[in-house]
Amino acid sequence: MATPTQTDAPAGTERPAPVAARTRRPPGTREQVRLLSGMAHLSLAVWALAVVLPLLFTFLGSFKNTEELFGDPFALPGELRWDNWARAWNTAHVGRYVLNSLVVVGFGVTGTMLLGSMAAYVLARYTFPGRKLVYYMFVSGLTFPVFLALVPLFFVVKNLGLLGTHTGLVLVYIAYSLPFTVFFLTAFFKTLPSEVAEAAVVDGCSHTRTFFQVMLPMAKPAVVSLTIFNVLGQWNQYLLPLVLLPGDAESKWVLPQGIASISTAAGNQADWGALFAALSISIIPVLVVYVIFQRQIQSGLTAGALK
């Protein structure tokens, strides 16, 4: 008695297509993938060169004299001239500018993340009249360029008696960093499970304790990413300090103002080595922060999409 083989099928039914036929790609798909992959790698290589070459030119220039700087731009310096860095740090007062920037950015980022995370949490998790209006007011702050409000901002800070002070600059930093912080964190807090907050309330936690001890730690990836972005943005800010810390407050200038002052002096005195050393000093902290926290930045940007 004959037994049916594996390929036999009952009458009236269609045989399943072979596995090779089901997984076969359309003609030309593999070539298209290779072409797109090659174009992507080429674009990344061009972008990497556009970023790395100016940094390399700056760091090499910080050890050169004027003659070497105006020679081959990427040639190695004849010797390591650390006196360029010493003149930038002491004579050009870069050390004082770095300290001022650390103070201003430290308080500015702390205030931004504290107020922004609390506002975002309330807008995302609580329902109250005018909630959408408050949220849209925060978001509307993203549409105004900084230079558009410089003149009225100058008079507001002056009337408050905070012109030429770090306090006024910190408050303005916080105000200009809040819109993006609230916008980003509101979307992230909406993705967190409500059951965790409800369980904390049932266990006797107050709203404040629930936020600081339960919900805020859960939002750590987004908080870390936004903290780094705010550090980079406030560290490199130039227009706001230029307006709010005028020339008579030179002792309170931040690093971008100091770099601009050194650039002007270098144009008259031709101390280009000190200028490049000052630029290197301003780049190193930002570069170190990004290298250390790059994984947190990537995880924070993708965490909301994966929840």
- pLDDT-based confidence at 205, cuts 50/70/90? confident
In the chain, the domains with their CATH numbers are 82-306 (1.10.3720.10)
- pLDDT digits over 246-285, tens only? 877 788 999 988 888 777 665 556 678 888 888 888 888 8
- pLDDT digits over 12-34, tens only? 555 555 544 455 555 557 778 88
- Please give the Cα distance from 152 to 160 (Å, whole number): 12
Q: Are the C-beta atoms of residues 274 and 92 closer than 8 Å to each other?
A: yes
CA angle 21, 27, 28 (to 5 degrees): 145
- pLDDT digits over 123-175, tens only? 999 999 999 999 999 999 888 888 888 899 999 999 999 999 999 999 999 99
Question: What value does the mean pLDDT take over residues 224-245?
Answer: 90
pTM: 0.78
Question: 10 Å Cβ neighbour count for 91?
Answer: 12
Tell me the two tokens of residue 189: 């807090």
Query: H-type helices in 62-202, by residue range?
Result: 66-69, 82-86, 94-125, 131-140, 150-159, 166-191, 194-202
